[in-house]
Structures are given as structure tokens and as C-alpha cells.
Amino acid sequence: MTAALVIAAAAVGFVFSLSGVVGILRMPDVYCRIQCSSKTVTMGALPVLLALVIGEGPFSVYGSRALLVCGLLAVVNPAASHALARAAYRIGIPMWHGAVEDQPKEQWLAERE
């Protein structure tokens, strides 16, 4: 039973990590790649760590460290993705030529005036 749960959680994590890697390689501009990267962490890394917690127990050495890394990733990764996307927008990396909307631009121009 435990082994089945561990294998299921690890498989979910692997599938989402695979989709994130394909997205990082194939997406057209940097903003889409940042979105794929943060999805890789949220749905790809957390199930694998959860598999470790299920397999070893939450109070063992390995399970407790896996829970710690889980909390760390869940808190810090959105902040890092946000800061990176903001920096990419501020230094003027162009969007994909097929992008249809640029809302922050209007907001930014309004702030400047």
C-alpha cells in the first residue's frame, strides 16, 4: 500500500516535471518559460518530496528534511519567479511577436506621468 502511494506520487511529479522541461525548451519567450519553470516546482517537485515523506514517515530523518524542503520551495519559488519576471520586464526583454496584450505597459506609463 505504501509502495503504491509512493510510486503514484513520484509518477505525478515526474509527469509534471517532464511537461515543465518541455515547456522551458519549447516556449517562445522568457515570460512563458518563467511560468513553466514555476509550474515545474509546484506540481513537479512537491509530489516527489511527498513521496519521500510517505515512504519514510514524516518524523524520520529523511521525511522531516523533505517536509522542510517542501515548505522552503513552496514559499520561495513564487517570490523568485516574480522577481525574475519583473526584472525581465523592466530591462526590456521583448515579448513574443504573437503576444496580444501588454497591461503593465499602460500602468507603467500612467505611473510615470
Partner 1 sequence: MLPDVYIAVALAEIGLAAPLLLRLALGPSICDRVVALNAISTQATLTLLCFAAFAQRTIYLDVGLWLSSFSYLGTLVWARYLERGLL
In the complex, the residues that contact partner 1 under the rule CB under 8 A are 2-3, 6-7, 10, 13-14, 17-18, 20-21, 24-25, 30, 33-34, 37, 40-41, 45, 48-49, 51-52, 55-56, 61-62, 65-66, 68-69, 72-73, 76-77, 79-80, 83-84, 86-88, 90-91, 93
What's the min distance (Å) between Cβ of 100 and partner 1?
21
- How far is 19 from 41, CA to CA, in rounded Å? 11
Rounded least distance, CB 6 to partner 1, Å: 6
Under DSSP, the state recorded for 16 is H
2 with 54: CB under 8 angstroms?
A: yes
Q: Is 23 exposed, middle or buried (0-12, 13-18, 19+ CB in 10 A)?
A: middle
